[in-house]
Homo-oligomer: A and B are copies of this chain.
Amino acid sequence: MSASRPVFYVSDGTGITAETIGHSLLTQFSGTDFTTHRIAFVDSTERAGEAAERIRAAGEAHGVRPIVVNSCVDPELSRLIAGSGALMLDVFEPFIAPLEQELGQSRLARVGQAHGMVDFDSYHRRIDAINFALTHDDGMSINYDDADLILVAVSRAGKTPTCVYLALHHGVSAANYPLTEEDLEHDRLPPRLRAHRGKLFGLTIDPVRLQQIRQERRPNSGYAKLETCKREVAAAEAMFRAERIPVLSTTHTSIEEIASKVMSTLGIQRGMF
């Protein structure tokens, strides 16, 4: 029997840092089956003790030693968690000494504001960008002058999640332009987009995949027919080529990767929230 190995992302904050690096690490060990849990806001000896107990119990239940990916900054809390008997992977510890030496400065013995609100201005930029994405999601009534970039694609090719991600994590105001049947009859850019060439990025998708997505949304509609999907995608791709709009297929690409590639292609440099 191959037992599933319990993995705990333990943090004195949200646990996002621990989960992000832990998840990346685990994907490099695909031969093992993992069961993951997040224990967030472990910011007192009491909560650390509770976490340790929960981890220890999971090890007993699974009959295998748990793995803890730990981002608690306070060594006392980490020590308590290690009392669970788990393999401890401390995500900050290996990097603190080299950084202290390089910077000639000691680390702060408290939780970093890694995902805290850094300042009012940048928070505002983030919220404004989210509101921008939501308000302009229908591609109508948009003043494209205010957009940092414009994603152009047929319906359901991945524009909306990408806009939302760009807003939430980079404070980028991303607008949509959904290509209509009428647009697709021409090989040229729709007139409303012509003044904004430098902001345009095209998304495309495998027609079979598009058909699946549309079928879930509007079963057995003309819109969801494979033939419609093939025709629309071919027309959109021809237009992108003719107009030299950069383009990316979303078929096998995560939202994060699409967002990263759009930003690097259009030369938009922004930090990450």
Contacts and interface: CB of A to CB of B under 8 A. Distances in A.
User: Chain A interface: which size bin?
Assistant: 35 or more
Nearest to A272: B19
A40 to B, nearest CB: 5
Interface stretch (A21-29, A52-60, A194-202): A21-29
Q: Which of A17, A98, A213 has the most CB of B within 10 A?
A: A17
A188 interface: no
- List the number of copies, as a whole number: 2
Interface in A47-93: 65, 67, 71, 73, 87, 89, 91-92
A254 interface: yes
Interface of A: 5, 13-17, 19-21, 23-32, 36-38, 40-41, 65, 67, 71, 73, 87, 89, 91-92, 94-96, 98-99, 102-103, 105, 107-108, 112-117, 123-124, 126-127, 130-131, 134, 137, 160-161, 164-165, 168, 213, 216, 252-257, 259-261, 264, 269, 271-273
Contacts of A259: 14
Nearest to A135: B137
Given A91-B21, A117-B252, A255-B168, A102 B65 contact: yes
| Residue among A96, A259, A264 facing the most chain B CB atoms (10 A cut-off) | A264
A40 B114 contact: no
Given A160-B130, A255-B168, A114 B24 contact: yes
A165 to B, nearest CB: 6
A226 B98 CA distance: 49
A68 to B, nearest CB: 11
19 contacts: A14-B257, A14-B259, A17-B20, A17-B24, A20-B21, A23-B112, A24-B92, A25-B92, A27-B112, A28-B112, A36-B271, A37-B269, A89-B99, A115-B256, A116-B254, A127-B161, A134-B160, A168-B168, A255-B273
Nearest to A15: B260
A94 B94 CA distance: 7
Nearest to A102: B87
Given A102-B87, A253-B117, A254-B117, A124 B216 contact: yes
Contacts of A89: 95, 98-99
A164 B160 contact: no
A96 B28 CA distance: 9
Contacts of A161: 126-127, 130, 168
Contacts of A25: 92, 95-96, 99, 112
